[in-house]
Structure 1
Amino acid sequence: MKKVILFADTGIDDAIALIYALNNPQIDLLGVVSGYGNIEREKAYRNVEYLLELAGWTDIPVISGATRPLNGEDPVFFPNIHGVEGLGPIQPPIPEERYANRTNFRKLFRLIKKNPGEITIVNVGRCTSLAMAWYLSPEVMGDVKETFVMGGAFLVPGNATEVAEANFFGDATAANFICQNVASLTIIPLNVTREALLTPNEVDFIAARANTRLEKIIDPILDFYYEVYQEQEPGIEGTPQHDLAALMAALDLPGLFTYKKRKVRVQHEESYANGLSIADFRPGTTNCSGEGCSRIAMELDRTEFVKQVMKVLAKKR
């Protein structure tokens, strides 16, 4: 069983990743760090609490993350993509104001100290909270076994700008720090998460098997997500499950991804290319090794992805 701490900015695809984690017996979810990104931090925190309550897993700690990027600028949110509350049409019956003015990284550090060398961090939002944790206590964070980050776009267009993916663009300084300094780092970029599609028919199949309060919100939030994507990219086959793909990568499922190892940096000096993820894929380059070397997912087997999703979210009960 994989011990996981999830860093999220709980919009729709984060919610699907969290639901998958709670339903997968291979994952021991130790905690969730919830920060700004798709929505404000307080709403993201509230959404995690709401999903855990639906699941009956209220003993899982929720840790309050960052409210804005490291450069101090006001973040840009995406209610047009994730809905005003972050969960599409769902209106959680909990006011987000309840979660204002909370900081509890100490809780995160306690979890890591209790499980030295055993924890996998999966970061599916902005990299700010993860970078802050490293700034505050590199000694404790050095006890993390491995880190997976959903972010970047290598050799493909971005989704926040022409060249930048949203998580890296949202805090390019933090993204660059993580890519340059975190050991045992795997990056799951837009190249592969764009292929992690769930079609309406596949979502309907999952919905037909749903029999818990938590599972029953999958259909409405992914229907909302699909309509958003149809407006942005008419004719797209389904909805990309960016964050779920990153979480599944942490399980080392055979045949799901192919990887290359490269040193990565992120343009973060407020240029036109802010948030651009950079690695050397020129002909003749080979896998790197040692300090600063990241494993980058290059291809995803969509058939295997859907198979593994169905195994967890549409299993017979």
Structure 2
Amino acid sequence: MFSIKKIILFSDTGIDDAIALIYALKNPDIDVMAVVSGFGNTDRNKSYRNATYLLNLSGHGEIPVIAGSTRPLSGQEPEFFPDIHGVEGLGPLSPPVPEERYRNKTNFSKLFQLIKSNPGEITIVNVGRCTSLAIAWLLSPEIMNLVKETYIMGGAFLVPGNVTEVAEANFYGDAVAADIVCRLSPNLTVIPLNVTRIALLTPAQVDFIDSKAKTPLDQLIKPLLDFYYEAYQQLEPGIEGTPQHDLSAVMAAACIDGLFTYEKRAIRVQHEESYANGLSIADFRPGSINCFGTGCSRIAVEIDEDIFLTNMLDILTR
């Protein structure tokens, strides 16, 4: 029997996170229980502010936003990406509330309260750095073991990275945290660049979505993705659209039939400072097979682009 997915979204609310959140809010099969906002695409305070802004604009201001991490577990200063996500994290948009309002907030107790109140029912979807999620596991593994399942957008297996030659941005941004989460999280599914890189949304499709826009939230999609497309044209000249990295992970959590093909492997993340920092590692040598039991995670290795497009357009034009 199908039941609505109760999701807690861990994000670093930049453009692709915003599209993922909008999709989740519009999807009738998803109940967004909370958003945990940490550093990543932008700093923690802006990330928190952006999530609050989007929820209020959608009419879901009652959904709690939980302040996440401000820097990686290494203690290093994080690097932000205004060229890709804009100065405020939302491309050309400037939310009316200054981020300084959220400077001193932190509240993991709210996260733990939600999980304890819904044992075995919460799905965590992490589409930013893994720092906040790793901290939650280190603070209270007993409570975190009450989580039903975890989905992560991160890693790159047998394909190039997008922030270094070998590393994807979320894993690279806190490789220590990524390794902790991949080792500790049971029922873990990883949605890597292998599939998100080809989950494209073209300008023509964005225009179609915009033609159906009726709410203030819907009307944000085009300016966000137009900005994102121009940024990607600088990164990868000629790319047909913008890769929907974070949206792909939310769609995976929605368990859309046939969307992804998975293989099960143990995952480790290179986290000692080296040329390969953030490298995601799994055994895909010829002859390797699915693993079983503790320490095994699902890795998405293929995506059905037609199913992706059909579902994405259906939800975002509602």
Q: Which residue of 2 aligns with 1:190?
A: 193
Unmatched segments (≥5 aa) in structure 1: none
* CA deviations over 1:256-294 (Å, ceiling 9, x no partner): 000000001000000110000000001111000111101
Alignment pair present for 1:176 and 2:179: yes
Matching residue of 1:12: 15
Q: Tell me the TM-score normalised to structure 2 length.
A: 0.99
- Among 270, 273, 277, the alignment partner of 2:273 is 270
Mapping of residues 254-269 of structure 1, within 5 Å: 254-269=257-272
Q: 2 CA distance for matches of 1:113 and 1:178?
A: 19
CA offset at residue 122 of structure 1? 0.0
Q: 1:77 is matched with which residue?
A: 80
Deviation, 1:254, is 0.8
Cα deviation, 1:70-126, whole Å, max 9, x if unaligned, reads 010000000010000000000100000000111100000000011000000000000
Note if 1:297 corresponds to 2:289. Answer: no
Cα deviation per residue 1:1-22 (whole Å; 9 max; x = unaligned)?
Answer: 1000000000000000000011
How many percent of aligned residue pairs carry the same amino acid? Answer: 69
Q: Which 4+ stretches in 1 moved above 4 angstroms?
A: none
AA in 1 matched with 2:19: I
TM-score, structure 1 as length reference: 0.99
Secondary structure of the structure 2 residue equivalent to 1:207: helix
Secondary structure at 2:275 match in 1: coil
Give the counterpart of 2:139 among 124, 136, 141.
Answer: 136
Unaligned 5+ segments in structure 2 are none
Q: Is the 8 A contact 2:137 2:184 kept in 1?
A: no
Deviation at residue 199 of structure 1 after TM alignment: 0.4
The 2-side partners of 1:82 and 1:302 are apart by 25
Structure 2 contact 40–129 (Cα < 8 Å) conserved: yes
Give the C-alpha shift of residue 150 in structure 1: 0.3
Corresponding residue SS for 1:113: helix
RMSD (Å), alpha carbons: 0.5
How far apart are residue 251 of structure 1 and its match?
Answer: 1.0
* Alpha-carbon distance in structure 1 between the residues aligned to 2:30 and 2:172: 29
